[in-house]
Amino acid sequence: MAKRDEKIVVIGGGTGSFTLLSGLKNSFKHITALVNMADDGGSSGQLRDELGVLPPGDVRQCLVALSQSPELRDLFNFRFEDGKLAGHSFGNLFLSAVEKMTGQFEDGVRLASEILRIQGEVLPISTDNHHLVLQTANGEVRGEYKIGHLDFGAVRKPTITLDPTPTITSSAKRTIQEADIVIIAPGNLYGSLAPALLVDGVGAALAATRAKVVYVCNLVTKPNQTDDFSVQDYADEIERFIGESALDYVLYNTDQPNQDTLSRYTHEGEFLVSFDTDELAQAHFEAIGLPLIAKAPIVAKSNADSIAGSRSLIRHDAEKIAEELVRLCQTVTS
């Protein structure tokens, strides 16, 4: 089947964006990934601290997802397990090296894009150095990694900001303006999506674009942060970050994993995101329920990855999402 010509933009970072991009590239010619740039955990955090560079990890994952060269994908994802480089991936080191050499993070992304022969484009959503900040009753917590793993206690839908306030790049803004469909990827709601959507100018760009804005909801809740969240709760938080009622569609899962996998998740306090079809029918967006759980994991874990243990085994079925997006494109253009 021929690939479609619509311009697709994916906003997010990490495994959620990787999963979607891996499936979308088989159905669409023109894909741009806009990546959250507040990561400060693992290899990215260490490189930020030691070299003063922008975090490369989520950008690397998106580049690899769009690459058309299996061997080079493996190279950029290769993690050193020994010595002083233990925990670092080659791709992270490559992007940081080019940034140090030229002074421009975008130069590293451009060169990596050429080497990996990616289909599409990967752009940082902002190139301003910034950190995620969560306000608590006892003060503030700084850092995406800390916040992404924090126990929020009784606090529901906390106050989160970026400091200093970053601004969307002109290229990212233009990409949103020119898109046909903008997809907000699944991911850690407060540790991955908020840092992308809270960037100054992103909300205005999403509110103004002619594109249809689609949110792909998470499959499972996050313990001590989104306990008991429904699909509507997730969508409400996305729009709170954006600052506008910008969503046109929300895709959510109606499937069940096998019992062994489900038991493992519930043992860890993670549960399938619930949904109320009557409630969703009253929403200003169109909610579309589909069986969205992939039959097998997509990303292999590495013993050298210091945060691999926190990554989910349940994955979205990217091909199913791509099929639905093709259907939406046909509906919109018919």
Report the pLDDT averaged over residues 18-27. Answer: 95
In whole angstroms, what is the distance from residue 177 CA to residue 328 CA? 19
Report the pLDDT averaged over residues 190-216. Answer: 97
The residue segments making up the domain with residue 241 are 4-333
Report the pLDDT averaged over residues 227-234. Answer: 97
Using pLDDT thresholds of 50, 70 and 90, give the confidence band for residue 309.
very low
pLDDT tens digits, one per residue of 151-161: 998 888 999 99
Query: Full-prediction pTM beyond 0.85?
Result: yes
The answer to whether residue 310 scores a pLDDT higher than 70 is no
State the pLDDT at residue 298: 46
In whole angstroms, what is the distance from residue 86 CA to residue 248 CA? 44
**Between 97 and 149, residue with greater pLDDT:** 97
The answer to whether residue 299 scores a pLDDT higher than 60 is no
Report the pLDDT averaged over residues 202-223. Answer: 97
State the pLDDT at residue 266: 87
Length of the chain: 334
The answer to whether residue 297 scores a pLDDT higher than 60 is no
Using pLDDT thresholds of 50, 70 and 90, give the confidence band for residue 312.
low
Alpha-carbon distances, residue 311 vs 109, 170, 253, 299 (angstroms): 25, 32, 19, 10
In whole angstroms, what is the distance from residue 59 CA to residue 12 CA? 10
Secondary structure (3-state) at 132:
strand
In whole angstroms, what is the distance from residue 255 CA to residue 130 CA? 38
How many angstroms separate the most distant Cα atoms in the chain?
58
Count structural domains, the chain.
1
Q: Write the CATH number for 32.
A: 3.40.50.10680
Mean pLDDT of all residues belonging to the chain:
93
State the pLDDT at residue 178: 97
What phi and psi values does residue 79 have, to the nearest 5 degrees? -110, 135
Using pLDDT thresholds of 50, 70 and 90, give the confidence band for residue 278.
very high
State the pLDDT at residue 307: 45
Report the pLDDT averaged over residues 166-170. Answer: 98
Q: Pick the closest to residue 60 from 299, 333, 315 (CA basis).
A: 299
In whole angstroms, what is the distance from residue 102 CA to residue 109 CA? 12
pLDDT tens digits, one per residue of 48-58: 999 999 999 99
Q: Is the dihedral of CA 171, 106, 246, 26 positive or negative?
A: positive
State the pLDDT at residue 219: 96
In whole angstroms, what is the distance from residue 127 CA to residue 68 CA? 26
